Amino acid sequence: MIRIVLSLFTLLMTMTTSAQNTLSERQLLLCACASLEAQGDLERLDPAIRRALGGGVTVNELKEAFSQLLCHEQVPQG
């Protein structure tokens, strides 16, 4: 699970421009949702999704993040 969160964080970090070394608010919200999904914390996930949607994250971006988590979650550890 930690590997999944770290790989998502790395993916989001590569999305930033070279002039900017921090994540945007939108990216942080998306990362929070992905992290909660990876942990299975559904109680805190619903409010996080609402904050993300209010912060400019699109439904398609959330779907993509969650589908990527599902793909990586099913890969056997080895």
Domain ranges of the chain: 2-10+22-73
Contacts of 73 (CB under 8 A, 6+ apart): 1, 4, 38
Q: Is the pLDDT of residue 67 over 80?
A: yes
Most confident stretch, 21-25, 43-47, 69-73: 43-47
With b for 16 or more beta-carbon neighbours within 10 A and e for fewer, the 9-35 pattern comes to eeebeeeeeeeeeebeebbebbbbbbb
pLDDT digit string, tens, across residues 51-60: 999 999 999 9
Residue 27 contacts residue 15 (beta carbons within 8 Å): yes
